[in-house]
Every structure is written in structure tokens, then in C-alpha cells.
């Protein structure tokens, strides 16, 4: 690289080629494993024992994957995962967005302490906190429920939501809000009629992230459930006794929704992380 | 993108005239929630680990330290973090540098590279299981190249090095995306003029990278390192999916003590140990990578 760019004018094409081959290699590094697990999920039992493998999509069909979806516990745990993620999204936005607005628009005593509390959560392995919660959740009737899992996942997503919504509300010009007050809106009206529509895309992106955080969480969900398992907890517990192609199908089922969601918020990814890593 | 996202640092004027209880009312729900479900379980965990039958005791700590799996799990977790985090940062920096050099197709490439961000460690374990299992694609490739005669097992306790490498590769595959996103977000905030000025004064690409870019993305680097290291010490599901219990790690031991042995005290001891390591790592990064707010772009 250094030799090529010492005289950049002479070697533009070779340098370009180097950049693009690097990019292509890194894209393959990300995509090929996903393609291979999809082959495994769609190849069924025969596919697993085929030797040597070619890596070409031969002998695949949707049947083995559907068979996996119909096997006992999969649909229910899928729905449980959706439920827990839904609770996480609603709670982390409902609790985090007001805090983000307060951080963005007011200066108050204790603001720095609050920011410190939020940032402190990042230095902790939060899912571990599920361990002592087992006892109190049993007492409260939250153990082995989707609500309990949703609550602990909200602990993971809430600090993130508060920080990101702070950035989003800072990005909405305060002048617009003030203009609304002058035209007779109350603070609450101005917030819902002026700020919310402008902040909406960012808030939706934050919600999607909260969803993905909950959807992917394994440890807390496994500790806090027995029968009402989320998809990750279910797959973890049946892992050792399930056949290979079921494991691959499980992996694919876990990957698909989050890939779609990441695609949906791809334009906001970098802005969000720019904010939350400040 | 919402308006003015880059300039909000400068525009941090506030409604100072309004000294009311409104902001407190707004943060109260989240404070109450975090007090109940973050601070309280934190204190509970510490108490669980350091007590027995309601009295302070180091019995749980002793049981943990004397357990057969304690030393291997501690060693494995540290080795994994040491192997994985630097490689992730290096790949993320390479991604950020490469993507800065192209115009068209930038969005698509960044999207592809961020896909693993949505993939759980359990799913990552299953993905790499498809590649590394006995009749998997790695063996097929090696067989096709004539490097192995028959199917080789990589993920057993007789092949600890191969198992370690497999787990590390799966972790690098999955966890690089988050580092990349934070670093690219940091790179986007470095003004072009800085690098152009350095170029005019004759700085080569390496000098520009080490002297201009890297110091300017320190805040991003710091938060990426903290986030990734804390996550690396939480590694669990990817290990379990690939190696079962052949490769003990700290969180895996906490899980076993809690769910199989029903011993919440020892599980709590492991949890406290993991927290102490994570906090120590965070403090080290905060000290080692000094971020000077005055010099930020």
C-alpha cells in the first residue's frame, strides 16, 4: 500500500484494485458463512452427512426448514421472543425517550449524575444481573414469563434508548418548538405536534435496536425461563440433543428477522452510534 | 438523517430559564426502573456471593476458586478476550479505511458489513458449526485441496487449540460489526481538511493514519474497546454452541451453577468476578486512552 501511494498518480488502477479486492474479501467473510448455514438449514438430514460438500445449492428445499418450524416448541418460543422484544421496545422507548428529552432540553441539578448512571450500565455485564432476579421474580410471579424477560431486556436497552433519543431531540431545532408555543400550543401540544413528527425516524430506529437487543439475548432469557422459553433460550436448551440440521435451521431462524431489521435502519446506524458512543 | 446531527455539540443551548420539576418528572420513570432492576440486583448479587445463610462469608468464593473448572474458565475467557478484541479493532479500522476510499456502492458495502450486528452469539455459533463440524465445509475444502485424508474433528476436548481458534473466529466474525459501526461513525466526524493538510505537508498514508486519524478517533476507539471488552468477558452462547462444555468460560460456569447445580451463591460469585473484571477493563481503557475534549473536531 505504502509503495503504491507514495506516487499515487502513477498507480491509480493497481491501488483501486487493491481497495476493491480488500472490500470484496471482507464482504465474502461476512456473507459466505450465512450462505453456508442457510444451505445447512435447507439441506435436511441428507445434506448434513453429504461428503465431501461442494458448497453449491444442490439438494436443497424449504421442507426441512418447515419441518423444523413445525417441531414442538419452536412456534411457541418464536412467539415468546416476539412478546419479550415487544415489551422491551415499548418500555425502553416509553421510559427512555422522556429522559432523552429532559437531557436534550433542560439543564438541571443532577443531570451529570444521571448521565453517569446511564453510562455506568455500560461497564457492567447486564445480563448477569438475571441471576439474583430469579428469586425476586419467583416471588412476584414474573419468573418463567415473557414479562420477566422483557423487564430484564429493558435494562439492556433503556440506557441506549435514553442516550440515543437525547441526540435525536438535540437534532430537532428548538426554534420550531418555540414558534409553536408562540402560536398558542402548550408545551405538551408542541412536543407531540412539532417535535415527535421530526424525531420519529430516529425513534423508530432506536425501537428497532431495542428489538434486536432483546431478540438476540441468550443468557438472561435462559436463566429466567423454564417452560415459556424465548427462541434463544429454547435453542440453547435443546442444543445438545437436537440433530445438526435442526441446529442450522435454528440459527437461520434467529438470523433472518434481525437481518431484515438492520436493513430497515441501515441509514440511521452510523448516526445512532455516533451519538451513543459520545 | 435528522437535521443538524453533526453540529449539536455546538448548539447545546438549553431552556435554562425554566427551573422546574419537569426534567425530574421526565427522568424519574427511568431512574426508578434502573434502581429496581439494575442497582438492586447489583447489590443483591454482591450479597449473594459474599454471604452464606444470611451472614457475611467467603464460602461461595472459596467454592468457586476450588472448583475444577475455575482456572480453565478464567484462563479461557481471558485468552479469548485477548485474541478477539485486537483483531476486531484491526479489521474494523481496515473496513473504515477501505470504505473511505470509495464513492459509489459505499452504502451497500456498509450494510453488508453491519449484518452481523443483528446476529446473536448463539446464531453465530450455529453458523460456524455448519462450517467446522466433521462433515462441514472446512473439512470439505481441506479434503478437496488434498490437505486431509479423512474427516477431522476440530471441536472436541482433544483438540483444544482448534476449538479455541474456532470459537475466536466465530466471535470475530460476529463482533467486528459493532466496532466497525462505532469507528466509522468516529471517522465520519474527522474533518477532511486535517488529512488534506497533512497530505500537502508531505505526510504519507501511514503517517496520516497514525498521527492524524487515530488520535482524532480516540473517543470512538475508547467506547468501542469498552463495549467489546465487556461483551468479550460475557462470552457464552457461541462457546456452548461450538464446544458444548469442552471449553469452560466464566459465564458458562455461572449458568451451570445456577441452572444445573441450583447453587445461586456460587453463580453469584462468578457474576461478581465477571463484573470486577469488566469494571477493571473499563477503568484501564479510560486511563490508557486519554480523551481530551478540547481537541475534538
Residue of A8, A21, A33 best to disrupt the B interface, most CBs of B under 10 A: A33
Phi and psi at B266, nearest 5°, equal -70, -40
Integer distance in angstroms from the first to the last C-alpha of chain B? 20
Answer yes or no: is B131 within a domain: yes
Asked if the structure places residue B40 within a domain, the reply is: no
Residues of chain B in contact with residue A216, where contact means CB-CB under 8 angstroms, are 118-123
* pLDDT-based confidence at residue B289 (cuts at 50, 70, 90): confident
Helix (H, G, I), strand (E, B) or coil at B10: coil
Q: What is the Cα gyration radius of chain A? A: 24
pLDDT of residue A274: 63
Angle (nearest 5°) at CA A64 between A59 and A70: 170
- A99 has a pLDDT exceeding 90: yes
- Where do you find CATH 1.10.3720.10 in chain A? 68-276
The verdict on residue B30 lying in a domain is no
**Domain count along chain B:** 1
**C-alpha span between B150 and B147 (Å, rounded):** 9
- Tell me if B139 and A52 make a contact (CB, 8 A cut-off): yes
- CATH number for the domain spanning B106: value is 1.10.3720.10
What mean pLDDT comes out for the span B28-49? 92
Q: Are B123 and A127 within 8 A, CB to CB?
A: no
* 0.85 surpassed by complex ipTM: yes
Angle in degrees, 0-180, between the axes of helices B70-100 and A12-49, rounded to the nearest 10? 140
**Å from B220 to nearest chain A CA?**
6
Q: Which CATH superfamily is domain A68-276 in?
A: MetI-like (1.10.3720.10)
- How do residues B111-136 score in pLDDT, each as one tens digit? 899 999 889 999 999 999 999 998 88
- Decide which of A240 and A250 is more confident: A250
Q: Who has greater pLDDT, B201 or A96? A: A96
Q: What is the pLDDT of residue B293?
A: 55
The answer, for A240 touching chain B at a CB cutoff of 8 Å, is: yes
* Cα A246 to Cα A45, A67, B257, distances in angstroms: 9, 9, 27
Residue of A nearest to B181 (CA): A270
Do B50 and B58 touch, CB atoms closer than 8 A? yes
User: CA A210, CA A87: separation in Å to the nearest integer?
Assistant: 10
Min Cα distance B288 → chain A (Å) is: 16
In a domain, B60, yes or no: no
Which phi-psi region, left, alpha or beta, contains residue A55 (left: φ > 0; alpha: ψ -120 to 50)? left
Nearest residue in A to B30, CA atom: A95
Q: Residue A35's pLDDT is what?
A: 94
- Confirm or reject contact between A155 and chain B (CB < 8 A): yes
Nearest to B278 among A125, A173, A219 (CB): A125
User: Are A98 and B29 in contact, with CB atoms under 8 Å apart?
Assistant: yes
In a domain, B7, yes or no: no
Test B120 with A217 for CB contact under 8 angstroms: yes
Q: Which of A36, A170, A215 sits opposite B131 (nearest CB)?
A: A36
Cα angle for residues A83, A86, A90 (degrees, 5° grid) = 145
What count of other Cβ atoms lies within 10 Å of the Cβ of residue B35?
A: 11
CA atoms lying within 13 Å on the CB side of residue A54: 6
Could you say which of B12, B29, B140 has the minimum Cβ distance to residue A53? Answer: B140
- Is the Cβ of A66 closer than 8 Å to some Cβ of chain B? no
pLDDT at A206 over 60: yes
Q: pLDDT category, B43, cuts 50, 70, 90?
A: very high
Task: Enumerate long-range contacts of A90-94, CB under 8 Å, 24 or more apart.
Answer: A91/A150, A91/A151, A91/A154, A91/A158, A91/B33, A92/A154, A92/A157, A92/A158, A92/A160, A92/A161, A92/A206, A92/A207, A92/A210, A93/A161, A93/A165, A93/A203, A93/A206, A93/A207, A93/A210, A94/B29
Q: Kindly report the pTM of this predicted structure.
A: 0.87
Distance between CA atoms of residues B268 and B183, nearest Å: 34
- Overall residue count recorded for chain A in this entry: 278
Q: Residues B178-194: pLDDT tens digits? A: 899 989 888 888 888 88
Report pLDDT digits (tens) over B138-168: 988 999 898 888 888 888 888 889 999 999 9
CA separation for the pair A230, A208 (Å, rounded): 18
Residues 6 or more apart whose CB falls under 8 angstroms from that of A270 comprise B110, B181, B184, B185, B188
Name every chain B residue with its beta carbon within 8 A of the beta carbon of A20: 102
Chain A residues close to B116, C-beta within 8 Å: 30
Q: A15-26 pLDDT, tens per residue?
A: 888 899 999 999
A105 vs B contacts (CB less than 8 Å): 14-15, 23
Mean pLDDT of B76-102: 93
- Partner-chain residue, chosen from A52, A124, A216, that has the shortest CB–CB distance to B120: A216
SS (H, E, C) A85-140: HHHHHHHHHHHHHHHHHHHHHCCCCCHHHHHHHHHHHHHCCHHHHHHHHHHHHHHH
In a domain, B255, yes or no: yes
pLDDT of residue A11: 56
Q: Which residues of A touch B101 (CB under 8 A)?
A: 19
Would you state the pLDDT for residue A1? 41
Asked whether residue B152 is assigned to any structural domain, the reply reads yes
CB distance A251 to A34 below 8 Å: no
**Per-residue model confidence as pLDDT tens digits over B63-88:** 999 999 999 999 999 999 999 999 99
Quick one: pLDDT at residue B15? 45
pLDDT of residue A45: 84
pLDDT in tens, B5-21: 444 444 444 444 445 88
Q: What is the per-residue pLDDT for B90?
A: 95
Mean pLDDT score across all residues of chain B? 86
Residue A170 C-alpha, separation from nearest chain B C-alpha, in angstroms: 6
In a domain, B180, yes or no: yes
**Residues of the domain holding B239:** 83-262+273-295
Whether B5 and A167 lie within 8 Å, measured CB to CB: yes
Residues of chain B positioned with their CB less than 8 A from the CB of A114: 27, 31
Amino acid at each position: 500500500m505504502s509503495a503504491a501511494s507514495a506516487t499515487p498518480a502513477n498507480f491509480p488502477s493497481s491501488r483501486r484494485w487493491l481497495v476493491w479486492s480488500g472490500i470484496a474479501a471482507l464482504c465474502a467473510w461476512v456473507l459466505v458463512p450465512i450462505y453456508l448455514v442457510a444451505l445447512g438449514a435447507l439441506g435436511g438430514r441428507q445434506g448434513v452427512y453429504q461428503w465431501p460438500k461442494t458448497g453449491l445449492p444442490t439438494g436443497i428445499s424449504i421442507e426441512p426448514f418447515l419441518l423444523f418450524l413445525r417441531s414442538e416448541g419452536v412456534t411457541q418460543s418464536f412467539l415468546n421472543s416476539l412478546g419479550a422484544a415487544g415489551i422491551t421496545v415499548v418500555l425502553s422507548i416509553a421510559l427512555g425517550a422522556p429522559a432523552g428529552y429532559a437531557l436534550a432540553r433542560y439543564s438541571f441539578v443532577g443531570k451529570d449524575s444521571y448521565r453517569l448512571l446511564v453510562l455506568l450500565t455500560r461497564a457492567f455485564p447486564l445480563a448477569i444481573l438475571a441471576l439474583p432476579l430469579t428469586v425476586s421474580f419467583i416471588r412476584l410471579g414474573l419468573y418463567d414469563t415473557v414479562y420477566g424477560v422483557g423487564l430484564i431486556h429493558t435494562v439492556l436497552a433503556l440506557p441506549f434508548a435514553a442516550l440515543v433519543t437525547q441526540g435525536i431531540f438535540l437534532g430537532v431545532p428548538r426554534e420550531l418548538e418555540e414558534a409553536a408555543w408562540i402560536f398558542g400550543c402548550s408545551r405538551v401540544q408542541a412536543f407531540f405536534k412539532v417535535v415527535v413528527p421530526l424525531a420519529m425516524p430516529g425513534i423508530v430506529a432506536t425501537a428497532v435496536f431495542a428489538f434486536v437487543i432483546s431478540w438476540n439475548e441468550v443468557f438472561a432469557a435462559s436463566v429466567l425461563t423454564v417452560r415459556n422459553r424465548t427462541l434463544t433460550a429454547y435453542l440453547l436448551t435443546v442444543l445438545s440433543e437436537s440433530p445438526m440440521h435442526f441446529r442450522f435451521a435454528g440459527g437461520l431462524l434467529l438470523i433472518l428477522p434481525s437481518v431484515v431489521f438492520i436493513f430497515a435502519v441501515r441509514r440511521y446506524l452510523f448516526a445512532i452510534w455516533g451519538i451513543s458512543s459520545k | 438523517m435528522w437535521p443538524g446531527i453533526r453540529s449539536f455539540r455546538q448548539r447545546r443551548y438549553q431552556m435554562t430559564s425554566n427551573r422546574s420539576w419537569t426534567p425530574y418528572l421526565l427522568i424519574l420513570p427511568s431512574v426508578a426502573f434502573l434502581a429496581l432492576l439494575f442497582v438492586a440486583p447489583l447489590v443483591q448479587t454482591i450479597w449473594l456471593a459474599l454471604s452464606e445463610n444470611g451472614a457475611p462469608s467467603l464460602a461461595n468464593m472459596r467454592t468457586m476458586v476450588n472448583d475444577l473448572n475455575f482456572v480453565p474458565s478464567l484462563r479461557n475467557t481471558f485468552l479469548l478476550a485477548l485474541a478477539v478484541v485486537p483483531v476486531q479493532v484491526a479489521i474494523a479500522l481496515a473496513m473504515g479505511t477501505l470504505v473511505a476510499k470509495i464513492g459509489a456502492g459505499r452504502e451497500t458495502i456498509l450494510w453488508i458489513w453491519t449484518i452481523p450486528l443483528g446476529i446473536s452469539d448463539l446464531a453465530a455459533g450455529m453458523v460456524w458449526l455448519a462450517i467446522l463440524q466433521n462433515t462441514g465445509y472446512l473439512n470439505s475444502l481441506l479434503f478437496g485441496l488434498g490437505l486431509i485424508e479423512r474427516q477431522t474433528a476440530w471441536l472436541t476436548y482433544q483438540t483444544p487449540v482448534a476449538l479455541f481458534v474456532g470459537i475466536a473466529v466465530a466471535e470475530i466474525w460476529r463482533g467486528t460489526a459493532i466496532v466497525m459501526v462505532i469507528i466509522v461513525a468516529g471517522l465520519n466526524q474527522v474533518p477532511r481538511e486535517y488529512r488534506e493538510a497533512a497530505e500537502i505537508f508531505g505526510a504519507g498514508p501511514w503517517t496520516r493514519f497514525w498521527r492524524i486519524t487515530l488520535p482524532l478517533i480516540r473517543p470512538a476507539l475508547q467506547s468501542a474497546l469498552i463495549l467489546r471488552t465487556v461483551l468479550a468477558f460475557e462470552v457464552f452462547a457461541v462457546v456452548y454452541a461450538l464446544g458444548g462444555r469442552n471449553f469452560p468460560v466464566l459465564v458458562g460456569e455461572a449458568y451451570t451453577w445456577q441452572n444445573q447445580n441450583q447453587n445461586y451463591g456460587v453463580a453469584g460469585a462468578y457474576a461478581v468476578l465477571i463484573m470486577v473484571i469488566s469494571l477493571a477493563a473499563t477503568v484501564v481503557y479510560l486511563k490508557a486512552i486519554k480523551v481530551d475534549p478540547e481537541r475534538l473536531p
